[in-house]
Amino acid sequence: MHRRCALRRLRLAVFTPALALASAMPAVAQPTYDVTVRARRPVTSGSNFVLDAESFELRRMDRPDRILEVVPSLLTAQHAGGGKSNQYLVRGFDADHGTDFAFFVDGVPMNMRSHAHGQGFAEMHWLIPEAIDRIDVSMGPYDVEYGDFATAGAANLRLREAADESFVKVTGGQWQSIRSVGVYSPKRGVFGGEDPKATLFSAFEFNTGDGPFENDEDLLQYKGLARFGAEFGESTRLSGWFAAYDGRWNASGQIPQRWVGREGVNRWDSVDPSEGGDSARQIGQVRVTHDFSPNQKLEVTGWASHYMLDLDSNFSLFLEDPENGDGILQEDDRVYFGGTAVYRHSVEWRLQVLFSAGLDQRSDFVTASLSKQRRRTRLDRISSDRIDQTSVAAFAEADVALAPWARFVGGVRVEGFWFDVRNRKQAQTGPRADGRVSEDLYLPKANLILAPFAAEGPLPAASAPIRDTQIFLNWGQGFHSNDARDVVANPQERVLPIAMGWEVGVRTPVQEWLDVSVAYWWLHLQSELVFVGDAGDTEAKGRSRRQGVEVAVRAQPVEWLTGEASVAYSSSEFSNGDAVPQAPRLVAKASLLATHDSGLSAELDFTALGRRYGDEDRSVKLHGYAILDFAVRYRRGPIEGLVGLDNVLGSEWRSSEFYYESRLQDEAEGAEDFHFTPGYPRNVRVGLTYYFR
């Protein structure tokens, strides 16, 4: 059976109800801890779903952020250099670097609280894309196991436990781009056999490139990762992993549109060529799982990380300081650690029920500073804060098979936060307070999945497409925490603004080879964090509301050809009717994959972002884009070759774009304008991989 065929293996968690129900209705009546089913991969973006590595193995992998774009309604944007966290656009949110979409790696949270650059900063560059086994996606605030920042949704990137084959890969492209990757996973001794007692996966990556910019990006990245696992008896398993990263880069910056086109100036130039930064991280995790019985399971996870970032930026150029420029240096140095314990117990009373209960804990110890800089030389330190922030959460959930055609999943999450801020230098730009603040909140969730037209349902249908149709109704509350410094300095603001979401959706297998899903969602947020261009920071605004529709289609008319397409449209506005700047409105994606038994495969990918508002009064619209990428791969024996052509049509597009006031050095006064980072032009990449055991 072809690995891309309609019947494909998915490993699902029991608390992803829409996905489990979509696979087969009998699974509703028999919840278990880990269900392995064979079914077409659900295409709906309106529920929980799984994206396996085959969904992105042909895509450009120089940044892990690109892999996240397999999520139907999520786009990423290069936001000033290949080492700074990308900008995320999803479900009507300009989530900046992660304010309203939660990212995890094997359950370890990636969003940085009270970060020097912006709340929720989720920097994923440390991760090696080939180490990703799958992505578990939960759209909306409907899952009790996700807390802070999981308002628009959450993505948990699962690491490989082992690789089928070890390999060495080298990929090269234009602008001195070289990427080297090595993966080693032994298959002998305790690591051998179909069901090994131990597993080991190790990987390294070296990445360098200058990009198409006049000021070379000079990107250098070093990454390493090792993961192990071992069984102790028949009921206990120990696993863990450790990763290290070091990266540095130059950035093109966000250039004003009025500057491009001057004599000798093109869109690849930089007004301030000193922008860029360096970052480092060490992170580790240990997990123990124990099965008390076939119906009882406990999973305990602990993790810790050290993270450092020095980021040189200049957003408004010479607006505030005509002599030295408006360059800023943002420094973040933190240790953060935490853990999770989850207990699951399946019981059968009159109904079959799976109970889940868990605890989350996280502590951040942060030193965050802001300074004036000119050409990466510090001029004056504006502020420096020591931030200690701790949260504890408890959650409980019941997964109930109400009937062979109906399933209910509901629960509650309770959060408690403690903030302690010590100002190491009095800010020159306004009052900043020392102090302590605490707050707690309760977040109920409820999900209902129905198949009323199934043979066991109240309205059995003769037609197969109608009979196999599923309906899901989701409701829940989520939140994002605000920056501890703002919370202490402005006690009138909410510490943990709540987001309330609703969703209704339908999934129908129109034909054996064709799936269609439609979802409509609403989301109301008590406080909105928006980007402030001249400060390079975010600020809390008023209440906001969003709604949107998502349509997804997956087709496999013949065994060797698979096509997928999705369209997401949303509207975002504040409670007074003003538009939310930068919020995406139209996101469209499509892909076409062809494979052959000879080892040849090819993929064509289309991505589009529609125009969106650049200011609150809707007088300015940012530019959209449409990009087409192509890749072909051929393997013969242990050798595999790859050729990719990115931006096939040669579009002049803008990866990220903002509208705000800036001033060039030769201008008498500032002017509001479009500021953008250009997207890559048409470019070719080639790769060669050698596999071994």
pLDDT in tens, 642-679: 999 999 999 999 999 999 999 999 999 999 999 999 99
Tell me the average pLDDT of the chain: 88
Rounded Cα distance, 369 and 355, in Å: 45
SS3 content of the chain, % helix, strand, coil (to 5): 5, 60, 35
Q: Report, as an integer, the average pLDDT of 580-598.
A: 95
pLDDT in tens, 149-197: 999 999 999 999 999 999 999 999 999 999 999 999 999 988 988 888 9
Residue 379 CA: distances (Å) to CA of 373, 425, 628: 5, 15, 44
The pLDDT of residue 13: 29
- Please give the backbone phi and psi of residue 335, each rounded to the nearest 5 degrees, phi first: -120, 130
pLDDT of 28 over the 90 cut: no
More confident residue, 12 or 487: 487
pLDDT of 247 over the 50 cut: yes
How would residue 535 be classed by pLDDT, with cut points 50, 70 and 90? low
pLDDT in tens, 313-344: 999 999 999 999 999 999 999 999 999 999 99
Rounded Cα distance, 483 and 538, in Å: 9
Q: Report, as an integer, the average pLDDT of 241-249.
A: 97
pLDDT of 448 over the 90 cut: yes
Burial 626-650 (b: 16+ CB within 10 A, else e): ebbbbbbbeeeeeebebebebbeee
pLDDT in tens, 61-76: 777 877 888 888 999 9
| Of the listed ranges 45-49, 89-93, 492-496, the one predicted with least confidence | 45-49
Q: Report, as an integer, the average pLDDT of 231-259.
A: 94
The pLDDT of residue 429: 52
pLDDT of 269 over the 90 cut: yes
Residue 540 CA: distances (Å) to CA of 434, 482, 659: 19, 8, 18
Q: Report, as an integer, the average pLDDT of 418-443.
A: 80
How many other β-carbons are positioned within 10 Å of the β-carbon of residue 426?
10
pLDDT of 54 over the 90 cut: no
- How would you class 684 by CB atoms within 10 Å of its CB: exposed for 0-12, middle for 13-18, buried for 19 or more? exposed
The pLDDT of residue 426: 58
Query: Domain extents for the chain?
Result: 8-692
Closest CA relative to residue 387, chosen from 101, 116, 111: 116
Fold of 8-692: Maltoporin; Chain A (2.40.170)
Percent of the chain residues past pLDDT 90, beyond the cut:
76
How would residue 26 be classed by pLDDT, with cut points 50, 70 and 90? very low
pLDDT in tens, 680-693: 999 999 999 999 98
The pLDDT of residue 64: 82
The pLDDT of residue 531: 56
β-strand 102-105 against 153-159: which pairing, if any? parallel
Q: Report, as an integer, the average pLDDT of 248-254.
A: 90
Model confidence, pTM = 0.92
